[in-house]
Structure 1
Amino acid sequence: MHVFMWPQTRPRWQDGVLLIGLRHVPGMTREAARARVRQALSEALLQALDVPQDRIRFHSSPGQAPQIRVPGHEDAGLSISHDGDFSVAAVHLHGPVGIDVMAVQDTPDWQSVTSDYLGPHVLARLCAASQAQRARLFTRAWCEREARLKCVGQGLGEWSPRAARGCRTVEVGLPAGLVGALALRA
């Protein structure tokens, strides 16, 4: 799926999902980035659904997934992710959604982190990869896990074959140096 950079590109629905990305001024606080993302989503939804901005409601509580209320779409799901000066947001009109984004970087303790949080199949795949491929593959696997967990409303925990079941993930198209994954209920 493609992430539409806001406000340069008018976003389009992709299988009931609206994805927008925003670049922030370096050093912007997380709270300011959150407010900016909510404003951008309101404006994008106004264009995409012709719903007045004052009718779109956001709710978030510490430790809980953000929620969105869109008239006529009571099941709409919302997920937001930040990395550095970049944020990405996903609205799914038909239910829960999870999104995660990360800058590709070498993780020195990738083997232990993968073993603890990503599981034996991912560990085997990373061990078989070349060093040049490993950073991107690790980042993508981490984003997929985080997106799945967000989609089903679970917090990060050690790997379990039962965690975050029932989701499908897709890689999202992002600016160079970033990797992201979107999760939807299967």
Structure 2
Amino acid sequence: MAERRSVLMAQQGRTVQKHQRTGHLPPWRLAPTRCSIAYGQIDLWRFRLDLPDNTLPELTRLLSADEYRRFSRQLDPTNAKRLMVARARMRQILGSYLQRPPEELAFAYGKKGKPGLGDSGRDKLAFNLAHSGVWGVLAVTAGMPVGVDVEKFDTQLEPLTLARQFLPAEQVDVLRQTPACRQRRVFFRAWTATEARLKMTGEGLTSVLEPSAQMQNSTSRPFTVGRGYLGAIAAAGQIGELRRWKLSEG
């Protein structure tokens, strides 16, 4: 009996580890026509940024004059287009929660530049936007700060070199003890979680070595966006119900 119990415990342990690695999240589902969110819920939205050029006029008209000027200054036209698409999608999604026209939303900015809703919905929603490569992700919550990060998996980077620069010493030690074949993925998991926490608090990279109480008390969960992309979501306290939505093109 004791032997069987040990086997069952080992199997349960492997299951828990699997859920921690994969995030044990629901699949990406097509977005509803009308959006609502309750306190404690987190909605993740996935959308593509590499849209056909003929879709741009409809999206860019949703941007403020300042947003359009700022993104138009990008030297890389592909990057400029993707920034505009990400911002327009963010406006559309937030507008669907607030039941307001996307182009009418106003944003306020914290000391470190983290955007929040102005008078059009400051007390109703918290959100955070991330984008990398061809994917954009928006996190939306009611009543609590949230941060999200997404990164394209780069097979050329040197994980230990970057970890020494940007991650706490204990995470560097974990990475050093990880087999070389897994170091990049472990680094990206740690880095996206750290970035999501920083974006949740609106703090800079210096907070990694001297984290605030808010950052220390936050939790994060990994998720996959698409093939070759890794992401993480962070929130104050425990992460409760998490829903994942995708737009039709994603």
Shift of 1:75: 5.3
Matched AA of 2:153: V
- How many residues get paired? 179
Greater fraction helix: 2
Structure with higher RCO (Cα < 8 A, 6+ apart): 2
Distance in 2 between residues matched to 1:168 and 1:77, nearest whole Å = 16
User: Structure 2 matches for 1:34-113, cutoff 5 A?
Assistant: 34-42=86-94, 44-45=96-97, 51-54=98-101, 57-59=105-107, 61=109, 63-68=112-117, 74=123, 76-106=125-155, 108-113=157-162
Aligned residue number for residue 120 of structure 1: 169
Q: Which 4+ stretches in 1 moved above 6 angstroms?
A: 70-73
Distance in 2 between residues matched to 1:169 and 1:160, nearest whole Å = 18
Cα deviation, 1:79-101, whole Å, max 9, x if unaligned, reads: 10010121100011011100000
RMSD in angstroms over aligned alpha carbons?
A: 3.0
Shift of 1:121: 1.8
Cα deviation, 1:20-77, whole Å, max 9, x if unaligned, reads: 01111272524412332223313552xxxxx422388341559511113597871521
Distance in 2 between residues matched to 1:3 and 1:152, nearest whole Å = 27
The two structures have a TM-score, normalised by structure 1, of: 0.79
Cα deviation, 1:102-153, whole Å, max 9, x if unaligned, reads: 0112353322321221112211221122222111111111111111011111
Distance in 2 between residues matched to 1:158 and 1:151, nearest whole Å = 12
Structure showing greater radius of gyration is 2
Aligned residue number for residue 6 of structure 2: none
Paired residues of 2:194 and 2:208 also in contact (CA < 8 A): no
Distance in 2 between residues matched to 1:70 and 1:132, nearest whole Å = 49
Paired residues of 2:105 and 2:120 also in contact (CA < 8 A): no
Aligned residue number for residue 138 of structure 1: 187
Distance in 2 between residues matched to 1:60 and 1:176, nearest whole Å = 34
Aligned residue number for residue 21 of structure 1: 46
Aligned residue number for residue 232 of structure 2: 181
Matched AA of 1:59: F
Matched AA of 1:85: V
Unaligned runs of 5+ in 1: 46-50
